[in-house]
Amino acid sequence: MLLCMLFACAQSEPVETSGERIVSLSPSITATVVDLGKGNFVVGRSAFCAAVDSSVPVVGDLYSIDYERLLRLRPTKVFVQKTTSDINAHLVKLAEENNFDLYAWKCDRVGEIALMHDELIKLLDCKTDPLQFYVDKTEVALPETILLMTPGAEGKAGLCFGKQTYLDDVVVMMGGANAIETSGWISLSLEDIARLEPSVIVVVSDTHFEVSKGVFALDIPIIPFIHPDVLIPSSRMTDVAIALQHELQAQ
């Protein structure tokens, strides 16, 4: 099902620009735009969009937007990440008034990331092939059940990746099984994790970290996995999947 929504189709007045002017309020979408070689089109971003230069103006995020700054940037397209909440009503209104074209994608799962990437190819006229997201099922035996989580604070577990999340999709593609049966991102206590009895805990981060003493005390094998793109579900997730597979095979 097409998850991209176009709210406006044309500018009421021509924008004086030599090309597209994109404001992206999603780190995932921004990273994919940059991956497609169109990062120079991004004229506005959220504070969390680290894929573009820090000199690109921050206009807020999906929930708190500086509309005056947004309009001063004269965007031709505004990209947002679709969540369970409705898209900001005033942002939709501005698009309906032909200030810019507004697009929204979900980026929670591998298939949604691929759809977003392929729609961006068409929107931005990229000479790029559709995203091929494929991981060979390993012939090396993987741990029976894998718990995927962020580092968390001292003495506490981090946020866990449940079913129907992009890292769950990656693990399933390589022939593994998520220790969590619940869908979405979940906060689990150390006692909850102990009851799950995962074969291994994979702690994922984009920077160096120390596993909390509480998680170590569970006496469950731990695999630290550090990758700069693991927490941003973008087109770079293909590289993340390959790296994670290699890490699991090496154990």
Q: Could you tell me which CATH number the domain at 146-249 has? A: 3.40.50.1980
Q: Which of 72, 64, 63 is nearest to 15 (CA)?
A: 72
Sign of CA dihedral 238, 162, 232, 121: positive
- Answer whether 22-123 and 146-249 agree in fold: yes
Q: What is the pTM of this model?
A: 0.88
Q: What is the pLDDT of residues 96-122, one digit of tens each?
A: 999 999 999 999 999 999 999 999 999
CA 247 to chain centre: 21
Domain 22-123 in CATH: superfamily? Answer: Nitrogenase molybdenum iron protein domain (3.40.50.1980)
105/112 Cα distance (integer angstroms): 7
pLDDT value of position 9: 32
Return the domain boundaries, the chain.
22-123, 146-249
pLDDT value of position 171: 94
Q: What is the pLDDT of residues 63-98, one digit of tens each?
A: 889 999 999 999 999 999 998 778 888 999 999 999
Q: Which residue ranges in the chain fall short of pLDDT 70?
A: 1-18, 138-140, 155
Q: Which two tokens stand for residue 16?
A: 């004086």
